[in-house]
Every structure is written in structure tokens, then in C-alpha cells.
A and B are shown apart, each in its own frame.
Chain A
Amino acid sequence: MKLFIKPSTPSGLIAIVVLMFAFGFMLVPLYSVFCEITGLNGKTSGQYQGALTNEVNDNARNITVQFVANRNANLSWPFTPQQEVMELKLGERKVTSFRVVNTSNKAVVAQAVPSVSPSAAASHLHKIECFCFEQQALGPSETKDMPLVFFIDESLPKGINKLTLSYTLFDITGSDLVDM
């Protein structure tokens, strides 16, 4: 096989170097795609784009969902789930919310990041509406109830009867991450 890159010459080897540097950066989207497709690392997908139905399959399995709220670093505003535990049927659309209270007297911006455990469940959790899709702006002393509308599809592996959906709230006020 004739190689385009001749490894016995400096230019050929430099080409390999450049390719490997680019490969390092390509690992970033590769990792993201890999995680989303497989649900690895509990990464959930973005907004659910598929068809919605109001029908509920009465024979569908019942499972338990736990909701956990975390606050990153020095973020001290109360951030709590409306309910810690919820029973639901697979395929059934459910609504819940998370409450955040901006206890400071300044406007702030927060970003919620979801994570699911066990990770095998992540690709079966579909979020129709989630406060994690957008940055949340809060005025001074504002209390906000942020909705979550979701369902867990019926192809959830048989062995999983309980899963945990965790949100970590990050304070991104004044950082480069804020959309302006």
C-alpha cells in the first residue's frame, strides 16, 4: 500500500504530528457523540424531538425516579426539587419542577446540568421541556419554579426499576458562558 505520507522524511513525519494534534481536538466531539449515543457517563440528550402521545400503556412497567438537586462551588441559593421521589409508568409523560431562590440582592445567571444514574438509563430519559436547556436569569431576591416535562421510554432495560436524575446548578453570572 502506497502511503501518502512518507514516514522516512521530515515532512511526512510533521504531517503525522499535525494530524495527531488535530486528532486530540477531534476527541472532543467524538467523546460527546459517543456519550450521547450510548448514554455513557449519564449524559442525557437534548430536547426531545420525536412524536408525543397522550396515550398511556396500562401494561407498562412502573418505575421509581429520584430527583436530586446540587449546587456547585460557592453557589448557596436554595435549590430543591418539588418532590424527591416519583413513581411513574414507562411511556407516561410527567411534570415536576425545581425551585431556586436567588438570595442575593443582585441579578444572577445560572446553568443547570443534568446527569442520570445508572448511565444505562440516560438514553431512555426524554426531556420535552427542561430548565436545563437554557440559562436561567434571576432577579434580586427572585424565586423561580423551573418546570421539567419528561418521560421514560418503554425500552428501558428490564433490570432498571429505579433511576436518579440529578441537576447541578452552576453560577455563571458575569462569566464568558453567559449568552448576551
Chain B
Amino acid sequence: MRYFLRFVLIILIICPRSALATWAFNMPVGVTNTSQDIYGLHMTIFYICVAIAIVVFGVMFWSIFHHRKSKGAQAAQFHGSVLVEIIWTIIPIVILVVMAIPATKTLIDMYDTAESDIDIQITGYQWKWHYKYIGEDIDFFSSLSTPQDEIHNKTTKNPNYLLEVDNALVLPINKKIRFLFTSNDVIHAWWVPDLAVKKDAIPGFINESWTRINKTGTYRGQCAELCGMHHGFMPVVVQAVTEAEYESWLQQQKTAKLAELASVQKEWGMDELMTTGAIVYQTNCAACHQAKGQGMPPIFPALSGSAIALGDVAEHINIVVNGRQGTAMAAYGKQLSAVEIAAVITYERNSWDNKTGDIVTPADIQSVIDN
């Protein structure tokens, strides 16, 4: 069956796709066996539908042309025909049964998550993804990295507009990857068209799916379930690399994690905090509080000139770490490291109209988190 599907697929690929690939109007063939099977099913059912349409509309338009009163046509008076009804009931049934067979095979295959080489837990957050490599001590958030200025039409949009993130999910090719999906808050859905993986991420439950990527490259997708305000702003980026590259990436991540832990205790100066803080702010805060801290009152308070950013540091830290119940302000203590939180708070207290001169260090934040 798989060979049959591949054969059909090759025929279908040769015809329309090559010339029109840049027009972005068809499903991608993708880089997994599943995505290619699905593309084949899609094109097959599409061509069947086109054939049905040609036949039905053909008869109809011919009839419109020839059986017009203005052409002198006399109306026949037949009421129906049981034979005809039977024929045009049976033929569609046969067509559908024939379609159902390869579709069933592909679906069974898509559900076979056994014998995976790598397991990744994917958690949907409002409004970013979190990836955890099970069995390795590696996990991180993946947030939209398109600058707010591009979104608000102040600068030109780059080619990967809305489809780029700060930390991509790095995966090796030719390995079976099993995904476990859940959500931190509302239902999200993780989708990468080139892999043909889409699954709902449901709070309190885990779902699973799998993939085996055949080709290195960068594959981009988006959240596919309305999840609130920034549903359109939480893309997925998968970086598929060779096994060797993957192994060295794993090593880098582990080293970076150790460095991160060490950096909490070291001395941080204003410049370093501001630089890091600007990046953290852009990625995590600017979507709501806006690039110049002006916010969008009343829903998103301004930070520039705000009582909190200018007042008690402990209260400012509390809001960032623990969030604000009943509002969209999340508990970033759960999502950002002590370094990132210290940097962004320092940044907020020393940017735009705010010039407190306050420095908040990672050690300060760590002691709040450890309580």
C-alpha cells in the first residue's frame, strides 16, 4: 500500500507542483513519510472531486445551454427513475470506499507512536511553547521573535515574519521522535505543516504524536487552536539537523545550563542587565506593554511612568514573578530564569521615562523564588 501511495504521489508531484511551488497555494509535500502520504491522499481526493465537479457541472451547463425556453426547448415531464437513483447512489459509495482504504492505512500509521528514539514534551502556554527533552535535563521556552516594530508597520517585515522564534526545537533527522502535548492554561494546538504533525494541547491531559524527519532544514508552523489574544503570535520552529549536529547541540545546551546556574551568583553590572533586559522585554513583554512601555490602557498598563516601575522594588518583583490574578499578566517566575527576570525588571526601571537607577540582581530574584 505504501508503495502504491508513493507511486500515486510521484505522478501527482510531477504535474502541478513544480511550476507553482512559489505561489504558496497548496499543501506542502513535507519531509516525512507521513506528510508525503497525506499529500498523496489530499491530491487524490482533490482530483476525484474535480472529476465529479466536471461531470456534474458539465451536464448542468450543457443543459442550461440546450434546454432553454428561449431556444425553443420543450420541457419533458418525467418524474424520476429508480434505476438512475440507484446508479448515482452506488457509484459515489464505491468511490468513497476506495478512498477510505488508503486513508485508514495512513491513519493507523499516524497513531503508531511505539519504539521512539527521542521523547519531547511540548507544553502550550499563552502565548508561547515550552519544550522539554525527556531524559535529558534540557527544557526552554520558544517565543515569537518578530520585533513589535514590524508588527506595527514601523519597519519592513522580514521574510520569516511571524514565523520565527528565539529558541527553535532542535531535532535529529532519521530518528523517531515522539511528542507529548499538554497545555498550561487553555487549549492550544501544535502544528508543523512540513511534518504533518498537528495535535491539540489540552490542560490537565497529555496527547501524543510522532514524526521521523527525512531531511535537514528549518520547518515553521503555528498554533492551530484559538487560545486568546495572541493566538496568531505563537509560532513553531523546528530545526532538523544531522545526528552529529544534534549531539553537539545537546552538549551545548547542557553547558549553557551550567553556565546559567553559575551566573546567578556572579556580579552583574547595569550595562549587562540592560542589554539582556532589552531582549527579554522584546520577547516577553512588548506584545502587551508595547515597545516604548506605553502599554495599551486600560487592558495593558503603561510601564513607562508607572507607579510600580518607579516605586517599591519588592512589589515590582512580586508582580513579575507571581503574575496578577484575574488579568493576563502571567507568573513569569515559572517561565523565565532568575537572570532574565532581574534583567527585565532592571530594564523596565531604567528605560523610557523611568530613571530610577535601581539595579535588581539575579541573586535578589533567586532569593525571592527560593523564599
**Interface residues, chain A, with chain B CB atoms under 8 Å away:** 41-42, 66, 68, 70-76, 84-85, 103-105, 113, 115-118, 141, 159-162, 164, 166, 168, 170
Contacts and interface: CB of A to CB of B under 8 A. Distances in A.
Contact of B333 (A70, A76, A115, A161): A76
B206 A42 contact: yes
Contacts of B208: 117-118, 164
Interface string B54-91: 00000000000000000000000000000000000000
B205 interface: yes
8 contacts: A74-B334, A76-B322, A84-B135, A103-B371, A115-B206, A117-B207, A118-B208, A141-B371
A168 B331 contact: no
Given A70-B182, A141-B371, A76 B331 contact: yes
Nearest to A66: B134
A70 B185 CA distance: 11
B370 interface: yes
B330 interface: yes
A169 B330 CA distance: 17
Nearest to A77: B334
Contact of B371 (A70, A104, A164, A166): A104
A65 B151 CA distance: 44
Given A68-B180, A162-B119, 10 more contacts: A41-B205, A66-B119, A70-B123, A70-B184, A74-B323, A85-B134, A115-B204, A117-B180, A162-B114, A162-B116
A141 B369 CA distance: 11
Interface residues of B, number: 32
Interface in B312-331: 321-323, 325, 330-331
B121 interface: yes
Contacts of A104: 371
Contacts of B204: 72, 113, 115, 168, 170
User: Which of B134, B185, B204, B325 neighbours the largest number of chain A CB atoms within 10 Å of its CB?
Assistant: B204
A68 B184 contact: no
A105 B208 CA distance: 37
A73 B182 CA distance: 12
A85 B118 CA distance: 13
Contact of A42 (B205, B330, B334): B205
A85 B135 contact: yes
A141 to B, nearest CB: 6
Interface string B113-153: 11110010101000000001011000000000000000000
B322 A74 contact: yes
Contacts of B185: 72-73
Nearest to A169: B204
A130 to B, nearest CB: 15
Give 4 closest A-B pairs by Cβ, nearest first.
Answer: A74-B331, A76-B334, A117-B208, A115-B205
Contacts of A166: 180, 182, 206
Contacts, number: 83
B203 A103 contact: no
Given A70-B184, A118-B113, A105 B331 contact: no
Nearest to A104: B371
A172 B368 CA distance: 22
Contacts of B113: 117-118
B365 to A, nearest CB: 12
B206 A164 contact: yes
Contact of B121 (A68, A74, A162): A68
Contacts of A141: 371
A60 to B, nearest CB: 18
Given A105-B371, A162-B114, A68 B135 contact: no
Given A72-B184, A104-B371, A164 B205 contact: no
Given A71-B334, A113-B204, A115-B205, A159 B370 contact: no
B142 to A, nearest CB: 17
Interface in B97-126: 112-116, 119, 121, 123
A116 B206 CA distance: 7
Contacts of A73: 184-185, 331
Contacts of B322: 74, 76
A170 B207 CA distance: 18
A170 to B, nearest CB: 7
A118 B113 CA distance: 8
A71 B330 CA distance: 13
A160 B369 CA distance: 40
Interface in B149-192: 180, 182, 184-185
Contacts of A113: 204
A75 B63 CA distance: 67
B359 to A, nearest CB: 24
Contacts of B369: 76, 103
A133 to B, nearest CB: 16
Contacts of A74: 322-323, 325, 330-331, 334
B134 to A, nearest CB: 6
Interface in B345-369: 369
